[in-house]
Amino acid sequence: MLVSPDLNEVRHLVENIFQRLGVDPAEFVDMLEVPKVDEGRCIARSYRLDRYLAMWLIDVGILQFYDDEGRMLYRTNLFSDVKLPSLAA
């Protein structure tokens, strides 16, 4: 049985990856976190900063990161063991 990761663990992972993308941790206080609800059920959650967006697709366990031009920078499956490989420069 697959269990969805804890909301706080995902937020911590998002912050960790944003840091690896060059975001100053002081910017996290301004991070906008928005749930996407469909028929009363949270199906996704987005995390937005000035230059980056992360989108967590809860049912499929995918966490994706985009720059401000919409290019995907990083993707991970939260239902697998999360390892942080080096990010391409």
Count each helix (H run) and each strand (E run) in the chain, helices first: 1, 5
Please report the pLDDT score of residue 89 as a whole number: 53
**Taking the alpha carbons of 59, 65, 68, 71 in that order, is the dihedral positive or negative?**
negative
Over 35-70, what HEC string results?
Answer: EEEECCEEEEEEEECCCEEEEEECCCCEEEEEECCC
The confidence score (pLDDT) of residue 6 equals 86
The domain segmentation of the chain, as residue ranges, is 7-77
- DSSP 3-state helix, strand, coil percentages of the chain (rounded to 5)? 20, 35, 40
Q: What is the pTM of this model?
A: 0.83
pLDDT at 48 over 80: yes
